[in-house]
Amino acid sequence: MLKPSSGEIYLDNKKLINFEIYNWNNSISYVEQNVFLFNDTILHNLTLSDEDNSELDKDNLQRIIKNTNLSNFINSTKNGLNTIISENSTNLSGGEKQKIAISRALFKKTNFLLLDESLSNIDENSIMMIAQYLKTLKQKGIIVITHNKKILDICDKIFDLEKSRFVQ
């Protein structure tokens, strides 16, 4: 993150002064439209953890998988969470890749979630499920960049880039 050339940044109603001591990597989860997944298991792609599976917050992981509508896909595979994602993710649809990336971002437990066209390949039913789940995450700051106006129903404020102003 760069220091602003003008204006100020506030975090929890406190002016952020010393940018060097704030760890942005552990505070922001970013999910873009073109998702990168590892040639590894679905579980590892979701958790990014090499820890023993017994150390993982399995309840939270299952809740996220359910609320991103990823459970149907995982349950349809022979090995479930241990299914290997092939190189270049050729054994997944674009929507499945995006659901995994969104689930990974949510599992990371950051303060901020930035979704940049990350719902573009996901079916309408799943989008609505994800949107409803995101509405429940009141402790997390969420920024959604999208052309899909249906997802904007979850937003407290909407900034229209073409109009350069808040429209809600």
Which residue type occupies 134?
Answer: L
% of the chain residues with pLDDT over 70: 92
Q: Determine the Cα–Cα distance for residues 151 and 2; give it in Å rounded to an integer.
A: 29
> What does the pLDDT look like over 89-147, one tens digit per residue?
889 999 999 999 999 999 998 889 999 999 999 999 999 999 999 999 988 889 999 98
Helix (H) or strand (E) holding 105: helix 94-107
- The mean pLDDT value of the chain amounts to 88
| 15 beta partners | 10
Rg (CA), the chain: 17
Residues 6+ apart with CB under 8 A from 113: 28, 29, 31, 105, 106, 134, 137, 140, 141, 142, 143
Confidence of residue 1 (pLDDT cuts 50, 70, 90): low
Q: Which of 20-24, 56-60, 87-91, 102-106 has the highest mean pLDDT?
A: 102-106
What pLDDT is stored for residue 9 in this prediction?
A: 79
**Token reading at 82:** 């241990």
Per-residue confidence at 30, pLDDT binned at 50, 70, 90? very high
Asked whether residue 21 carries a pLDDT value surpassing 70, the answer given is no
- The tens digit of pLDDT for each residue in 35-50 reads 999 999 999 999 988 7
Please state, as a whole number, how many other Cβ atoms lie within 10 Å of the Cβ of residue 132.
12
Q: Does domain 10-166 have CATH number 3.40.50.300?
A: yes
Counting residues of the chain whose pLDDT is more than 90, the rounded percentage is: 54
Report yes or no: 118 and 89 within 8 Å, Cβ to Cβ.
Answer: no
Structure-block tokens of residue 121: 């390949």
Task: Give every CB contact of residue 133 below 8 A, 6+ residues apart in sequence.
Answer: 67, 68
CA distances from 125 to 23, 49, 91 (A): 35, 29, 22
